[in-house]
Structures are given as structure tokens and as C-alpha cells.
Amino acid sequence: MPPLPPLRPARPDDIPALTTLWYVGWHEAHAAYTPAALTALRTEEDFARRLVHLLPDTIMAGEDSALGFCMIRDDEIYQLYVAPEARSNGLAARLLTDGERRLAVRGVGRARLDVGVENHRAARFYARQGWEETGSGEGVVDSSAGPFRLQLRFFAKQVALTP
């Protein structure tokens, strides 16, 4: 197995590649069970717009292309996506661990993340990484039309800095 690519902060010139990865990854993981009204709002332009504001809290893998990224926001792992060609090699776990570390540096003790109610693959991944499912219910996700209510599964994990 080739070595994992180094992680690095995302830069403004990464926005096109990150936008494509987020758009394709979101539609692959969520479009089949997400209400059509939200899916219609999930355009490449929408992801690019959101990325501009989230870039300072985004770490990515890949130098010439975006192989994966992890965004944090407040006390949560906000977004985590890995390109199909970079899966099953530990990259997602590495990005997640880095996101957990960044949250701990911010002083977060109990981190959270939300998963689409039918995104079983993601739920299994987070459980394997030590995240505890704490319930499910209606949550609010960002959209270009404003807050959008959606059924979500909620996860939490204690994060701490390790010496």
C-alpha cells in the first residue's frame, strides 16, 4: 500500500478541487435518502460558497488534488470526505483524528458530529473510531436557502490532547 499523503491546511487555490470532492461525495452519500428540496440546493456553487467561509478550519490530504478533507466548526467534526480512490487505507481515520486533535486544542472536551439518518456506512465508520451514537432526531443543516430541517443521527466523543 502506498504511503498516505501528508495533511495540510487548505488554501484558497484548493477551493475548486475541494468543491468537486465535497459535491460528488455529498451526492454519493446523501442524495438517495435526502429530501429532493435539499438535494436541489446542493450545487457545486453552494459548496464553493460554503468552503470560502470554512477554509480556515479545513485540513486536507493531497497536493495536486483533493484526496480528502476534514472541517471542524465550533465543537463538531463538521464535514469529512475522502475520494473513492483514497478510501480503505486509513486516510479517513487520519483526517478524523486530526480534526479531533484540532477540537481539543480549541478546548472542546466532548466533540459532536451529525450523520444523515440513513448514512449507515458513515455511522459504522464513526463507531469504529470510538464515537458513541447518542440518539437521532430532527437537526438543522446549512443550505443556500437558510437552515434546513433534516433527520439526523447524533454522535459524541471525548477528545483530549495527548502528550
Q: What is the pLDDT of residues 106-141, one digit of tens each?
A: 999 999 999 999 999 999 999 999 999 999 999 988
Q: What is the pLDDT of residues 56-92, one digit of tens each?
A: 999 999 887 788 999 999 999 999 999 888 888 899 9
- Interacting residues of 148 by C-beta distance below 8 A, sequence separation 6+: 37, 38, 41, 140, 141, 142
C-alpha span between 48 and 53 (Å, rounded): 9
Whole-model pTM: value is 0.93
Kind and range of the H or E element at 152? strand 148-158
Q: Counting runs of H as helices and runs of E as strands, what totals does the chain give?
A: 5, 7
